[in-house]
Amino acid sequence: MKVVSVINHKGGVGKTTLTSNLGAGLAARGKKVLLIDLDSQASLTVSFFTQAEWQTDLVPDRTIKNWFEGLRGEGPDSMSSLIAKPERVSAYLTHTGGFLDLISAHRDLSEVDTALAAQLLLDPEHYLAAHRRLREGLQEKAFADYDVTLIDCAPNFGLIAKNAVAASDMLLIPTRPDYLSINGIDSLGRKVQAFAQEYNEQLGEAGDPGAPLGRPPAAVVFTMVQLHDNQPIESQRSYISRVSGLGVPTFQTTVRDSKAVYGPAPEYGVPVILAGTGRALTRELRDLVSEMVAHLDEVAS
């Protein structure tokens, strides 16, 4: 099973939209897909479950918050007990051989993030346990049955996002082709590097036999690209080419800007890649899935 975090501490760049479409697209190709929603906004969760399903069936005791609470001895014994199956999208995946499951977010997740980070200041010896909680949860045998886990991160680089990095074989960085977003790629790279270094120092100091963290391979996906004559508009093209200079691989396929299509999709519980009507747009998403499959084949699990 390969673990991929969809991460960018910059908000509103299309992380959740990309996660849901890639997840559904991979499942439609026969992959066994798990999505994990690490954002207290729960946008990914409510892109697959109705608000009522989330509130009634998941919020009380079946969200990823329960797993992090286990650090204080109050959580479930296994992370796989938190897995839920969204029905509306599953109906589109029968006969594909693939499926899509999800571990949902909780609206108090950001409070848990802050509380755990504050607790660490008092008990620094729990640093490793707190940062590899998700990685350890995913070691459970039940998760080996999945081909890929996609983690939708919140727009910050707190303790929970660091957990995602520590659990990942690869990082996917959705980015808008504009000045501030491009700057964000560089700063995210530095944050990831600093975190891996800090984690490894802690391992050394504790004499812990756990594996050190490398910096996972990363790739940028351009989102909300404005097209003219099937080409990104001039101003965006220059930002896209500037990223090549940063040395981070980029997906050749870009996601076009289409508020009219992407805006309403989450309410229906089926991502655009499965339910969309725009032919060029769904073709582009399928191309993106093909590139993702190639990347997954390359990364070591």
Ligand X SMILES: Nc1ncnc2c1ncn2[C@@H]1O[C@H](COP(=O)(O)OP(=O)(O)OP(=O)(O)O)[C@@H](O)[C@H]1O
What does the binding site for Mg ion look like in residue numbers (CB under 5 A)?
A: 15-16, 43
Binding test (CB under 6 A) with ligand X, winner from 33, 224, 285, 289: 224
Minimal distance, residue 300 CB to Mg ion, in Å: 27
Number of residues that bind ligand X (CB under 6 A): 19
Q: Are 248 and 65 in contact (CB under 8 A)?
A: no
Binding test (CB under 6 A) with ligand X, winner from 263, 280, 290, 294: 263
162-177 per-residue burial string, b: 16 or more CB within 10 A, e: under 16:
bbbbbbbbbbbbbbbb
Q: Are 107 and 42 in contact (CB under 8 A)?
A: yes
Contact of residue 97 among ligand X, Mg ion, none (CB under 5-8 Å per partner type): none
Minimal distance, residue 181 CB to ligand X, in Å: 10
Minimal distance, residue 242 CB to ligand X, in Å: 20
Distance between CA 230 and CA 6 in Å, rounded?
26
Nearer to ligand X, 155 or 278 (CB): 155
| Residue 54 found at the interface with ligand X (CB under 6 A) | no
| Residue 155 found at the interface with ligand X (CB under 6 A) | yes
Distance between CA 241 and CA 84 in Å, rounded?
40
| Residue 177 found at the interface with ligand X (CB under 6 A) | no
Binding test (CB under 6 A) with ligand X, winner from 253, 262, 288, 295: 262
Nearer to ligand X, 3 or 265 (CB): 265
Query: What Å distances lie between residue 259 and 116, 217, 226, 264, CA to CA?
Result: 37, 30, 11, 8
| Residue 14 found at the interface with ligand X (CB under 6 A) | yes
Q: Which of 62, 11, 51, 4 is nearest to 266 (CA)?
A: 51
Minimal distance, residue 72 CB to ligand X, in Å: 26
| Residue 15 found at the interface with ligand X (CB under 6 A) | yes
Return the SS3 of 154.
coil
Q: Are 144 and 2 in contact (CB under 8 A)?
A: no
Binding test (CB under 6 A) with ligand X, winner from 170, 221, 255, 288: 255
Minimal distance, residue 89 CB to ligand X, in Å: 16
Q: Which of 213, 172, 208, 171 is nearest to 196 (CA)?
A: 213
How do strand 227-228 and strand 231-232 relate by DSSP bridges? antiparallel
Catalog residues that contact ligand X under the rule CB under 6 A: 11-17, 39, 41, 43, 155, 223-224, 255, 257-259, 262-263
